[in-house]
Amino acid sequence: MFFNHISLVLFDSLVPSKDIFITACNKFFFLITNTSSGLTASDTFFKEFIEDNKATIYKICRAYANDPEELKDFVQEVTIQLWRSHEKFENRSKLSTWVYRVTLNVCLTLSKKRSRKVDTVSLLSTDYHDTNDETEKEQIASLYKAIKRLKESERAIVLLYLDDKSYKEIAEILGITVTNVGARVNRVKNQLREIIKSGA
Amino acid sequence: MELDLIDIWKKDTASLKNAEINVDEAIGKKSTTVLAKIKFILKIEFWLNNLIVPACAVWYFIDFGVGYGVFTFMAFLIYFFYYIFLIRSINRFDYSGDVKKSLTKVYKYLRFYLLHYKVVIWVGYVLVIWGAAGYGFYMGYTGQEMDLPQNTPQFEFTKTEAYVVIGLIIVVPVLFAALLHWLVNLIYGLKIKKLKRIVDDLS
């Protein structure tokens, strides 16, 4: 027992790619147990979870991406990071709070990669709108255009505000105080209003 | 105005119900973040260190003596744990936590790693080679080496040839170190600079 413990401690500290090793072992175990669905309970849960939250993920990614190709990369990266950390999720916060936090953090770090010209029109044209209402589409496009004029950190605030999140939830997601949220939401709302008014 | 914006936003949410995320495809792909790229290079270095350096240690042990073998093996062990430390630091980075704090921490570790690399390059490939080659050249030119049976020069250089050799001893290691410095900057430096920009922007 003692030596087992020692070997586990050594294994944990010495093998940097132990996660890959464990995944490989799980896959091997899965193969020999011959389960037909090809999914573990965790995989199924994760797929359902992504399905439930895809609109949130898409909306946030679209607010940070500059073109459809970048949008695809952002959504993919968010999915990878959610997959990597979903087992670390501790029920200290709500699942939705966790999704917002991971998605926003990934977008905030990825959007520094490239500073290309923003192509809002093609971003929205490749979307999945089931409406033919042109006015509605234009309204959505102009809202996104206005959001993209904001600084990246301000975009995070406005996205959460538009999603009807309480100040407490916004504070929890962004890791700032509730008072700070109040001040920043008001400032960003005014900025957004001015941008839309000016039609820029 | 405020209600309008929220209303438009909600319409967009409804419109995204047909959006698709292929989970299997996404999680089967590699992450494209700067940290993932640095981790990939570190893993390559880690395995090269594991394969090449112990083999060199054995070779030095057999051909050059115990001291060289032990020294090389010690260097291998130090780097073995250092790579593990760096890779684990990157693995621990989690987007659901305090990104600014943890990214700053990882950035500092990687910046030190880059700095150490540059110091090792300039000390190892310039100062040590200058010292060793200069001493060897001096011994060979003057023949003033105690182990030699005769106090005679081992090679006959004209003054011009001597200047050329001295010049090469000075210039070649500098050029080689500069090349390695550039390579390390290309592999790590640019990525670490990107990381710095991300950390600054998050601030």
Q: How many CA atoms lie within 13 A of B202 on its CB side?
A: 25
Q: Quick check: B2 and A108 CB within 8 A?
A: no
Distance from CA of B46 to the nearest CA of A (A): 10
Classify residue B162 by burial, with Cβ atoms within 10 Å: 0-12, 13-18, 19+: middle
Contacts of A94 in chain B (CB under 8 A): none
For residue A68, what pLDDT is reported?
84
Q: Kindly tell me if the per-residue pLDDT of A33 is higher than 50.
A: no
Q: Give the chain B residue nearest A77 (alpha carbons).
A: B31
SS3 B196: helix
CB–CB contact A75 B202 (8 Å): no
Query: What's the pTM value of the predicted model, to 2 decimals?
Result: 0.75
- Minimal Cα–Cα distance from B114 to chain A, Å? 20
**What ranges do the domains of chain B cover?**
32-92, 96-203
Higher pLDDT, A197 or A104: A104
pLDDT at A4 over 60: no
Highest-pLDDT range among A2-16, A20-34, A161-175, B12-26: A161-175
Give the least confident one: A25-34, A114-123, A130-139.
A25-34
* Better-predicted residue by pLDDT, A75 or A195: A75
Q: Closest Cα of chain A to B89: distance in Å?
A: 10
Task: Say if residue A134's pLDDT is above 90.
Answer: no
B94 alpha carbon, distance to own chain's centre: 24
Question: Is the predicted pLDDT of residue A124 greater than 80, yes or no?
Answer: no
Cβ contact A53:A78 at 8 Å: no
Cβ of A54 within 8 Å of Cβ of B29? The answer is no
Quick check: A42 pLDDT over 80?
no
Contacts for A91-100: CB closer than 8 Å, 24+ residues apart: A93/A172, A94/A169, A95/A49, A96/A53, A96/A56, A97/A169, A97/A172, A97/A173, A98/B96, A99/A53, A99/A56, A99/A57, A100/A56, A100/A60, A100/A160, A100/A163, A100/A165, A100/A173
The answer on pLDDT for A123 being more than 60 is no
Q: Does B197 touch chain A (CB under 8 A)?
A: yes
pLDDT band at B31 (very low <50, low <70, confident <90, very high): confident
The Cα of B93 is separated from the nearest Cα of chain A by a number of Å equal to 10
Q: Which residues of A touch B44 (CB under 8 A)?
A: none
Q: Do B18 and A130 touch (CB under 8 A)?
A: yes
B15 touches chain A (CB under 8 A): yes
The pLDDT, as a whole number, for residue A96 is 80
Q: What local confidence, expressed as pLDDT, does residue B144 receive?
A: 64
Q: In chain A, where are the structural domains located?
A: 41-198
* Separation between Cα atoms, residue A147 and residue B12, nearest integer Å: 14
Q: Touching check for B32 and chain A: CB below 8 Å? A: yes
Cβ–Cβ gap A81/B88 under 8 Å: no
B57 near B73, Cβ under 8 Å?
yes
User: Which has more confidence, B85 or A193?
Assistant: B85
**pLDDT value, residue A152:** 82
Query: Cα distance from B147 to chain A (closest Cα, Å)?
Result: 46
Q: How far apart are CA A163 and CA A92, in angstroms?
A: 21
Comparing A55-59, B84-88, B114-118, B184-188, which segment has the lowest mean pLDDT? A55-59
Q: How far are the Cα atoms of A40, A134, B27, B88 from residue B30, in angstroms, in the given order?
A: 21, 38, 8, 18
Residue pair A73/B32 in contact (Cβ under 8 Å)? The answer is yes
Closest-CA residue of chain B to A109:
B198
Residue A177 predicted with pLDDT over 50: yes
CATH classification of A41-198, choosing from 1.20.120, 1.10.730, 3.40.50, 1.20.140?
A: 1.20.140
- Identify all chain B residues contacting A140, using CB atoms and an 8 Å cutoff: 8, 11-12, 15
pLDDT at A17: 52
Structural contact between residues A162 and B5, judged by C-beta atoms closer than 8 angstroms: yes
